[in-house]
Structure 1
Amino acid sequence: MENTNIVLENVRLSYVHLLKPYGRDPQSPQKYQTTILLPKTDTVGKQKLDAAIAAATRNGLNGKWNGTAPAKVPTPIWDGDGLTQNGNQFGPECKGCWVFTASSAADKPVDVVDAQMNRIIDATQIYSGVYANISVNFFPYNYQGKKGIGCGLGPVQKVRDGEPLGGSAPSAKSVFHAIQPQAPASPAVNPLTGQPM
């Protein structure tokens, strides 16, 4: 089996579920996962991706696929300037990037560290929009007759903060304004007696 582990540097992360496993619907298994945005300008990173997928394809031919590969091997890599699997446009953060999702089973937690190699346990530090170095592993699958290449998630190192991507709640300042304290209302005065009514 060929080595299909690679490290990509300074990528942006989206749909981040690294500290707690997540499942889109109750029936699907929960996983640690994130979507990785690799800038198309990172040609070295793209070469690593292509080489790892080619190696995983060869591993599939020699293993799970019993010597027969699909005419076009499905891979997890998408063009952020194109359309999603569902035929929709990718979000604006995906433009100019190669986009793919990596995951790890719920019983295999991901090691998440900061730039100084300290473990990150504070969920506010690792969010959609952060920049990171990330270890991923490509592997062949043969599931219910479908063959292709999947992507496993390894350790993650936060490199720097980035602008948070969508889905965040609005701040109080963006929806409210300061309320001026009101003076207590003066009691009504009887104009004949000058006494409060």
Structure 2
Amino acid sequence: MLRGLAEGCLAVQGRGGDWEAAAREHAALAGRLDTCKGRAAYAVLDGLLRFHRRHPGATARLAAPSGGGTACAYGITGADAGEDGTVRPGETVRVHLRGAYFDPAELPRDGGVSVGGVPVPGPPVVAARSGDRLTLAVLVPALPADPAAPVDVRVRLGAAEAVLEGAFRIAGVASPQPSPAAS
């Protein structure tokens, strides 16, 4: 993919490049990319080739789009917490991510996962990966819990954070409260 994109970028700028090589790679990759970065690069190559078909002899100066945005819509799509949506401290929950633009090996080193505002014990484990989708296996931390109150799950890598609000409830023993009769 990168070779075709490079060829198209060079060619549209009049700095060499090979339109045929770019078109061959574009055709070979149609419908085959399974990552957000791959799909974004493919869309750029597609735009370059369409520009070339409309203006075969033209060149253009490439620039970043105004307003920016990202190629990957990184986020949490769900958390498996059983049928009743309640887990216990020490149980493993699977957290599903989409748009993971990073190498999963970076997560334990440069990021982390928290449940209900408490970091999970130990590093998250990548349980499955398909394209830009990851499933993390995380241990539920012990924390005073109100079984009726759902907790948030946060997955952070550097400055990027994905949040799933109200992901599940944690069954546990809340801090004991003194009874009014004991005073």
Fold shared by both chains (TM-score > 0.5)? no
Give TM-score scaled by structure 2 length. Answer: 0.29
State the structure with more CA Rg. Answer: 1
Give TM-score scaled by structure 1 length. Answer: 0.28
Structure with higher strand content: 1
Structure with higher helix content: 2
- Identify which of structures 1 and 2 has the higher relative contact order when contacts are C-alpha pairs closer than 8 Å and 6+ apart: 1
